[in-house]
Amino acid sequence: GEQHAWWQRGVIYQIYARSFQDSDGDGVGDLQGIAARLDHVAALGVDAIWLSPIFPSPMADFGYDVADYCGIEPMFGDLAAFDRLVAQVHQRGLKLLLDFVPNHSSDQHPWFLESRSSRDNPKRDWYIWRDPAPGGGPPNNWISDFGGSAWEWDAKTGQYYLHAFLPQQPDLNWRNPELKRAMLDVLRFWLDRGVDGFRIDVLWHIVKSEGLPDNPLNPDWGPERTERDRLIQQHSTDQPEAHAISAEFRALTDSYADRVLIGEIFLPNDRHARWYGTPDAPQVHLPFNFQLIENAWEAPRLRVVIADYLASLPPHGWPNWVLGSHDAPRIAGRIGERQARVAMMLLLTLRGTPTLYQGDELAIGEVPIPPERIRDPQHHRQPHLDIGRDRSRTPMPWDGSQPHAGFSSTEPWLPLNPDWPTRNVAAQEQDPASMLALTRALLAMRRAEPALAVGGMRLLDAPDGVLAYEREHGERRLTILLNLTPRSIAAPWEGTPLFSTLDRAADPGMLRPDEGLIVA
C-alpha cells in the first residue's frame, strides 16, 4: 500500500456548505460552522473534504455561478476564515478540496459585465457571443441543461451569448488564451493558499466544437426525459481541446506536492476513461464515476456496470465511486433505508476511491419540500419534471434540540428532514445499530484492511439477487456478499463473518433479507 497516494487509499466527503452548519444565525451554513463540526468529519474516518463552491455569488445556482474566483462569499465568511479552516482541516490530518467552476461564471462577474458592455470590449471574446441565425433566432439548436435554448439574446449589443446552464451562467471561452491564463492563475491562487486539489465542475463542457454546429437529435428521447436530452451533446461537450486543457490543469497541479484533481464527467466508459489522459500527459486523477447513482439497484445490473467500468480503466487509471451528491436523489430515498446500509457497504468495499455525500451517513431520505419553499432553479425552469435537487440539499440535523436541530438558530434556507428529532448525528452516535455507527465501522475497517483500501478485486458468481466479490492483498482475502433483495437467500459462503450490515450474528451459508456481509 505504500506506493499508493492519499487520494487512492482515502475517502472523500462532500460538504455542501449552505447546509452543513450555520454559525451566524442567517439560516445558511458557513465556513466557521464547518470548522465547528470538524469533530464529526474526523470521527467519521474520512480523509478529505470536497467543499461545494464558497466563492462570491448571486446564488442563481447556489454558488455554481461564481462572481469572483479568488474570494469568499460573505454569507460563508472571508479569506481569513478560509485560511483558518484550511489550517484546522490540516491539523486533523485531513485534506481540503475546492470546487472549481471553469465552464461558466456568473453574469455578475466583472469579466462578463465588461464583455457584454460592447462588441469591441477587450473581454468580449472571454465569453461566447454570436450573431442570430441567418433567418433570425438563436445561432444553433443547443439546449440548456436546465431547459430552454442555451442562447440568451442581448439587445444592447445585438448578439446572443451561450449558457449551457442558466442565463445567469454565461459560458466562458476557453479558446481565448487570456481567459485561460486568468483561470490558471485562479488555480495557483488557491494552491498557494494550501488547498489539496479541486473537483472540477462539468469539465467535459469547457470547449465547444469550432463553428458551433447544431447538435444531432437524440433518437431515444421521450417526454419523461429532460429537455436537454432531446439532443446528443456531440458538439457542446468532450472536445479534444478540453482534454488538452485538462492536461494543463494537471501539469500545473503536479508542480505542487500531493494534490488531486477530480473531474465531473458524464460519458460512456470508453470516452470517460480518456479523461485520465496518458502516462505522458495525464489529465485528472479521478474522473467522477456516477454509475452507482445512474443504474437500477439490481444485482445483475450492478455486476455488469462494475465489471465494465473496471475493465474500461487504462492501466494508470485509478477507479472511483460516487453514491450521492447535491445533484442526485438521496440513496436512502431511492432504495430504502435498509438497502442504503448495503449500498454503504458496497461504496466502501469496492476497489477505488469512494465519495460520500453529507447526510448519507445518517441515511436521510428524500425530504419533501413544500412548493412555496422550492429553491432549485432546475425545478423552476422545468416544473413538470420531478427533478428537484433541493430534496438532497437540506440542512444537516445535528441533534434533537428545538427548533432547528442544532443547524441554525433561525429557520434554515431549506426545511430539515421531517424525522430530524430522531434522525440526527447526536441520536445516531448513541445507537450502535445506527447508519452512522455502521458508516464509521466500515470506514474504520477500510482503513485497517489494505485489501479493502488498495487490494485487487474479483467479481464472483452468486445466486440471483446477490452481488458478490473478493478483495485481496498479500495473503489476506475478503469476500463481500450483498443481498440486494428483501428475501433470505441461500448463498454458499465459508470462513469467518467479520461484519454484517444487520445487528445480529450471520447465518452460515445464508444471507438474511437486506444483508451485506464481509467474510474473511
Q: 188, 191, 197, 189: which is closest to 49 by C-alpha?
A: 197
The three cell numbers of residue 288 are: 467522477
Output the residue with the shortest Cβ distance to ligand ISL: 64
Nearest approach in angstroms of CB 145 to ligand ISL is 4
Instruction: Please tell me the distance from the alpha carbon of residue 153 to that of residue 254, in angstroms, as a whole number.
Output: 41
- Each residue 278-317 as x (binds ligand ISL by CB under 6 A) or -, in order, gives ----------------------------------------
User: CB of residue 103 vs ligand ISL: minimum separation in angstroms?
Assistant: 7
Cis peptide before 240 (omega within 30 of 0): no
- Residue 264 falls in the annotated catalytic set: yes
To the nearest whole angstrom, how small is the minimum distance from the Cβ of residue 357 to ligand ISL?
A: 11
Q: SS3 of 99, please?
A: strand
User: Of how many residues is the chain composed?
Assistant: 520
Give the residue with the Cβ less far from ligand ISL, 328 or 510. 328
The enclosing H or E element of 311 equals helix 299-312
With beta carbons less than 8 A apart as the criterion, state whether 489 and 481 touch.
no
Percentages (nearest 5) of helix, strand, coil residues in the chain: 30, 15, 55
Binding mask 228-267 for ligand ISL (x = CB under 6 A): ------------------------------------x---
**Alpha helices (H) along 100-219:** 110-115, 177-192
Closest CA to 190 of 55, 75, 74: 55
Q: Which stretch binds ligand ISL (CB under 6 A): 129-137, 184-192, 309-317, 325-333?
A: 325-333
Q: How far is the CB of 480 from ligand ISL (least distance, A)?
A: 28
DSSP state letter for 127: B
> Taking Cα atoms as reference points, which of 245, 166, 231 lies closest to residue 203?
245
Q: Which is nearer to ligand ISL, 172 or 491 (CB)?
A: 172
| Residues 258 and 196 sit within 8 Å (Cβ to Cβ) | yes
Q: How far is the CB of 409 from ligand ISL (least distance, A)?
A: 27
**Span interacting with ligand ISL, options 123-131, 322-330, 338-346, 415-423, rule CB under 6 A:** 322-330
Kindly identify the residues of this chain, within the stretch 176-205, that bind ligand ISL according to CB under 6 A.
201-202
- Note if 73 is an active site residue: no
CB closer to ligand ISL, 63 vs 415: 63
Question: Closest distance between ligand ISL and the C-beta of residue 516, in Å?
Answer: 26
According to the binding rule CB under 6 A, does residue 47 interact with ligand ISL?
Answer: no
Q: Which three cell numbers stand for residue 501?
A: 450490515
- Is 55 or 64 the residue whose CB approaches ligand ISL more closely? 64
Choosing from 26, 327, 429, 470, the residue that interacts with ligand ISL (CB under 6 A) is 327
Beta carbon of residue 100, minimum distance to ligand ISL (angstroms, whole number) = 11
Of 472-511, binders to ligand ISL (CB under 6 A) are: none
Residue 190 or 420 with smaller CB distance to ligand ISL:
190
| Residue 480 and residue 518 in contact, taking contact as beta carbons nearer than 8 Å | yes
293: part of which helix (H) or strand (E)? Answer: helix 291-294
Q: Which of 20, 111, 142, 165 binds ligand ISL (CB under 6 A)?
A: 165
The smaller minimum CB distance to ligand ISL, of residues 23 and 57, is found at 57
Helix or strand holding residue 453 (H, E): helix 450-453
Please choose, out of 67-75, 324-332, 367-375, 464-472, the segment that lies near ligand ISL by the rule CB under 6 A: 324-332
Which residues lie below 8 Å from residue 488, measured CB to CB, with a gap of 6+?
510, 511, 512, 513
Q: Which residue has the cell 450492478?
A: 302
Residue written as grid cell 465547444: 208
Element (H, E) at 100: strand 95-100
DSSP class per residue in 177-210: HHHHHHHHHHHHHHHHTT--EEEETTGGGS---T
Catalytic residue among 61, 171, 196, 201: 201
Using CB under 6 A as the binding rule, the residues of this chain from 53 to 92 that contact ligand ISL are 61, 64
The residue behind cell 443481498 is 483
Looking at the Cβ atoms of 326 and 341, the one nearer to ligand ISL is 326
Q: Is 30 helix (H, G, I), strand (E, B) or coil?
A: coil
Of 69-77, 255-263, 321-329, 457-465, which part binds ligand ISL (CB under 6 A)?
321-329
Burial letters 346-373, b for 16+ CB under 10 A, else e: bbbbbbbbbbbbbbbbbbbbbbebeeee
Q: Which is nearer to ligand ISL, 61 or 152 (CB)?
A: 61
Work out which of 107, 145, 390, 449 binds ligand ISL, going by CB under 6 A.
Answer: 145
Segment lying near ligand ISL (by CB under 6 A), choices 294-302, 326-334, 349-357, 505-513: 326-334
- Per-residue binder mask for ligand ISL (CB under 6 A), 97-136, x = binder: ----x-----------------------------------
Count of positions on this chain that bind ligand ISL (CB under 6 A): 11
Catalytic annotation, pick one of 65, 264, 449, 515: 264
What are the start-end ranges of the H helices in 210-268? 240-254
Nearest residue (CB) to ligand ISL, 166 versus 364? 166
Interface with ligand ISL, residue 328, by CB under 6 A: yes
Cell 452512522 belongs to residue: 436
The dihedral through the CA atoms of 113, 117, 122, 128 has a sign that is positive
Smallest distance, ligand ISL to C-beta of residue 271, A? 16
- In terms of CB distance, is 40 or 205 closer to ligand ISL? 205
By annotation, the residues acting in catalysis are 201, 264
Binding site for ligand ISL (CB under 6 A): 61, 64, 101, 145, 165, 201-202, 264, 326-328
